[in-house]
Amino acid sequence: MQEFVTFAKRMADAAGEIIRAHYRKPFEIISKSDASPVTVADRSVEERLRTMIEDMRPEDGILGEEFGIKPSKNGLTWVIDPIDGTKSFVIGRPTFGTLIALWEGDTPLLGLIDQPISKERWLGAEGVTTYNDMPVRTRRCTSIKAACSASTTPAMFNGEDALWRNFDKQTKMMAWGGDCYMYGLLASGFMDICVEASLSPYDFAALVPVVQNAGGWISDYEGRALTLKSEGRVIALGDPDLWPQVVPLLKSSA
């Protein structure tokens, strides 16, 4: 595992160099088929990381946001989101991140969230989540009324406004924006709930080990473990004991 962790860190370092070279600089913004934006930085990062994996671990599979799937020959798959939060990157807001995960089948082995501008890095593996190499834990929160919740945007709920409004009304506060950065903050004990929808595997694959190894809960809305085939409705809790209080908010929105 230490070999994998070291390699993931090397990839994050390489991604950060590329991202910093483009951050708050002029670049073309391209709209993909789903109308989401992509930049030269997104594509350059993923190309670089794919090359590193293919050079160092040619038997491993790759699942990336920009360039699709390379099937695994040994059951191991690296899951890459070069810039999670491209909209934040485009406007110069440093709450995006590079996501790198390693899964063996449907089992997450490690996950890394890297914010290359503020130089913050969360890494979850083997029962420990670290923030800049120091162990972190989620915080206790036994009441939904005391919980600080967050999500990226109401638009991701595809018109299910009742869902996010439940959290907005029932929790202490709800913050918007943050993409993967929110999950790092949850792992470090600064917030309590992340609720999102319409995520792809490369959006959540790295988040699972980061949250779980910090002592938190992350699942789909039914409480099932996330896999690379999950539909992308994700709930993360700093305190797993909040789950019974969260279930009615998810159910009543259906």
Per domain, the residue ranges of the chain are 2-136, 144-251
Question: Which residue, 126, 118, 133, is CA-closest to 181?
Answer: 118
Q: Is the pLDDT of residue 253 over 60?
A: no
pLDDT band at 149 (very low <50, low <70, confident <90, very high): very high
The reply to whether 2-136 and 144-251 are identical in fold is no
2-136 to CATH, choices 3.30.70.20, 3.20.20.70, 3.40.50.720, 3.30.540.10: 3.30.540.10
144-251 to CATH, choices 3.40.1800.10, 3.40.800.20, 3.40.190.80, 3.30.499.10: 3.40.190.80
Task: Report the chain's mean pLDDT, rounded to a whole number.
Answer: 94
pLDDT band at 158 (very low <50, low <70, confident <90, very high): confident
Instruction: Name the one residue in this structure whose structure tokens are 């949250």.
Output: 211
Mapped onto helix, strand or coil, the DSSP state of residue 212 is helix
Q: Is the pLDDT of residue 103 over 70?
A: yes
Give the pairing type, strands 128-131 and 120-125: antiparallel
pLDDT band at 184 (very low <50, low <70, confident <90, very high): very high
Do the Cβ atoms of 230 and 201 come closer than 8 Å?
yes
Residue 229, Cα to own-chain centre: how many angstroms?
A: 16
| Cα diameter, the chain | 50
Reported as a single tens digit per residue, the pLDDT across 185-209 is: 999 999 999 999 999 999 999 999 9
Q: Is the pLDDT of residue 108 over 70?
A: yes
In this prediction the pTM is: 0.94
